[in-house]
Structure 1
Amino acid sequence: MQVGRIPFNQQIQNFESTVAQIAGSAGGTSAAASIVSRSIVFVGLGSNDYLNNYIMANYETRRHYTPQQFADLLVIQYASQLTRLFKAGARRFVVAGVGSMGCIPTILARSAEGRCSEEVDQLVAPFNAGVRGMLDGLNAGLPGATFTYLDNFRLFKLMLAHPASYGFDVVDRGCCGIGRNGGQMTCLPFMPPCADRERYLFWDAYHPTAAVNVIMARQAFDGASDVVSPVNVRRLAQL
Structure 2
Amino acid sequence: MVAILDRQLWFTVVFLILQHSNEVLGSQVTVMYVFGDSLVDDGNNNYLNSIAKSNYYPYGCDYNRGPTGRFSNGKTFVDFLGEMLGVPSPLAYADPNTVGARILGGVNYASAAAGILDETGQHYALYSVGLRKFLLAGIGPLGCIPNQLATGQAPSGRCVDYVNQILGTFNEGLRSLVSILNNGTHPGAIFAYGNTYGIFGDILNNPASYGFNVVDKGCCGIGRNQGQITCLPFAIPCSNRNQYVFWDAFHPTQAANAILAQRAYSAPPNDCYPINVQQMSLINF
TM-score (norm 2): 0.58
Aligned-residue identity in percent? 41
The answer to whether structure 1 residue 109 and structure 2 residue 150 are counterparts is: yes
CA contact (8 A) 1:97 1:150 kept: yes
CA distance in 2: counterparts of 1:108 and 1:149, whole angstroms: 27
> Which amino acid letter does the alignment assign opposite residue 199 of structure 2?
L
SS of the residue aligned with 2:159?
A: coil
- Could you tell me which residue of structure 2 aligns to residue 51 of structure 1? none
SS of match in other structure, 1:144: coil
Q: Does 1:127 align with 2:170?
A: yes
Seen in structure 2, the aligned counterparts of structure 1 residues 147 and 42 have a Cα distance that, compared at 3 Å, is farther
Give the alignment partner of residue 188 of structure 2, picking from 141, 144, 162: 144
Q: What value does the CA root-mean-square deviation take over the aligned residues?
A: 3.2
Greater relative CO, 1 or 2 (CA 8 Å, sep 6+): 2
Shifted more, 156-165 versus 104-113: the winner is 104-113
**Deviation per CA, 1:96-146, whole angstroms, max 9, x where unpaired?**
100011111011110065552010100111211111111211222001110
Which of these two proteins has the greater Rg computed from alpha carbons?
1
SS of residue matched to 2:245: strand
d(CA) in 1 for partners of 2:186, 2:240 = 46
The residue aligned with 1:208 is 252
Equivalent position to 1:187, from 231, 238, 243: 231
Equivalent residue of 1:93, what SS?
strand
The structure where helix makes up a greater share of residues is: 1
Q: What is the deviation of 1:211? A: 0.6
Displacement of 1:88 in angstroms is 2.6
Q: Which runs of 4+ in 1 moved over 3 A?
A: 37-47, 74-78, 112-115
Amino acid at match of 1:124: L
Contact 1:42/1:93, CA 8 A, preserved across alignment: no
Letter in 2 for 1:191: A
Match of 1:217 in 2: 261
TM-score (norm: length of structure 1): 0.69
In the other structure, the counterpart of 2:200 is 156
Whole-angstrom CA distance in 2 between matches of 1:38 and 1:187 = 35
Listed as ranges, the matches of 1:1-239 within 5 Å are 39-44=31-36, 78=120, 80-111=121-152, 115-140=158-183, 141-239=185-283
Which deviates further from its counterpart, 82-91 or 135-144?
Answer: 82-91
In the alignment, structure 1 segments of 5+ residues that lack a partner are 20-29, 32-36, 48-73
Q: Distance in 1 between matches of 2:199 and 2:147?
A: 20
